[in-house]
Amino acid sequence: MKRSVIGYSKMQQDLCEHELENASFFFSSQANTMMGLGKSLEVNKAINFDSLWQEAKRLLDTAKNAENDNPVLFAVVPFDQEHPTRMVVPEQLFISSSTRASAPEQQESAVAKIISGFSDNQYVEGVENALQRFEQTELSKVVLSRAVEVETESDINQAKFLKNLLSVNSKGFTFSVDVGDGKKLMGASPELLVSRRGHYLTSNPLAGSRPRSNDSLANQESRLSLLNTAKDLHEHGLVVEEVERVMSKYCRNLYTPMVPSVIETNTMLHLSTVLEGQLDDPETSSLQVASELHPTPAVCGYPRETAYDAIRELEAFDRGYFTGMVGWCDARGNGEWVVTIRCAEVGQKNADFAGRDCQ
């Protein structure tokens, strides 16, 4: 695998504009942006979550050579482990600093229509069923979602789509993944599942949300509401406790703030807690920890298996990669993994969206 560091202008103006169609993976954070071209090694099959790192390590060990003893692997992992996981070690890896400096590009208005979706009646029935399960089973939280597919009259410009996501997601993670059939999973996630840099492990679960307003006074009221509402604090606490339980197995000096804070994206306010620790074992990979955290109560529910079963029964669609995880790791275990929310599978003239609603 050939690795090249380039300027952010070249990344944005040349590669994003002209090479995105051929890129297997694109991943951007506040720190840097990476694009993988070509496929040196790849896997596209169902993998048990507890075997993800073993499969990734096999590919990374195979990719090592005299010129590069620390190759990078990208992966997108589904919500349900029976759905295929995609892993790729690219032939070429381009890295730049963050590409978020420019304003959104103007696009011509596109006419779109909904061609399929989850009906309101189905959703209401699912919510009513979930409420019954709260009373009759150990289930204390379940995150139901809805999906919709839209079709456009004109072609969707994926490069402009991505560049606009980058411009409005300055505090989050932006990604584009080739998922076959001419489609790319494209999204702007605010939620860091886990990252590893050297010996340091970080997770930033989000749970509890309010719409963001252009009115600063309304936003302040929403912040106070999030910090003072028992339901939001309880649901956020469930997520943090589960993340803390998993991270404590791998970390010493783990620090978890006693109370959450509120962070803002362009459209939402979220309760947020940043957990940080030092790894006990330097051989532990970011993907190992991510695999055990996934899916968190923020996108599934609590207890995990009970919520998982409820979602399979109550949702009338396959989530696929929605509420899965996407990211990268290198052969030394460093990496970043984020929750695949605020995303869509974008084709030439259609896009499949999904969203969380009930908790």
User: Using H for helix, E for strand and C for coil, what is the string for 42-97?
Assistant: EEEECCCHHHHHHHHHHHHHHHCECCECCCEEEEEECCCCCCCEEEEECCEEEEEE
pLDDT tens digits, one per residue of 172-227? 899 999 998 889 999 999 999 999 999 999 999 999 999 999 999 999 999 999 99
Instruction: Classify residue 331: in a domain, yes or no.
Output: yes
In a domain, 8, yes or no: yes
Contact residues for 323 (Cβ-Cβ < 8 A; gap 6+)? 79, 143, 145, 295, 299, 300, 339, 340, 341, 354, 356
Query: What is the CATH number for 173?
Result: 3.60.120.10
The proportion of the chain whose per-residue pLDDT surpasses 90, expressed as a percent, equals: 71
Assess whether 191 carries a catalytic annotation. Answer: yes
Sheet holding 268-272, edge to edge: 206-211, 268-272, 261-264
**212 within domain boundaries:** no
Among residues 149, 163, 183, 191, which one is catalytic?
191
> Is residue 329 one of the residues assigned to a domain?
yes
Could you read off the pLDDT of 56-113 as tens digits, one per residue? 999 999 999 988 899 999 999 999 999 999 999 999 999 999 876 455 555 555 666 7
- Domains of the chain: total: 1
* Total-model pTM: 0.93
The residue segments making up the domain with residue 21 are: 2-100+114-199+282-358
Active site residue 184: no
| Residue 102 confidence (pLDDT) | 58
44 in any annotated domain = yes
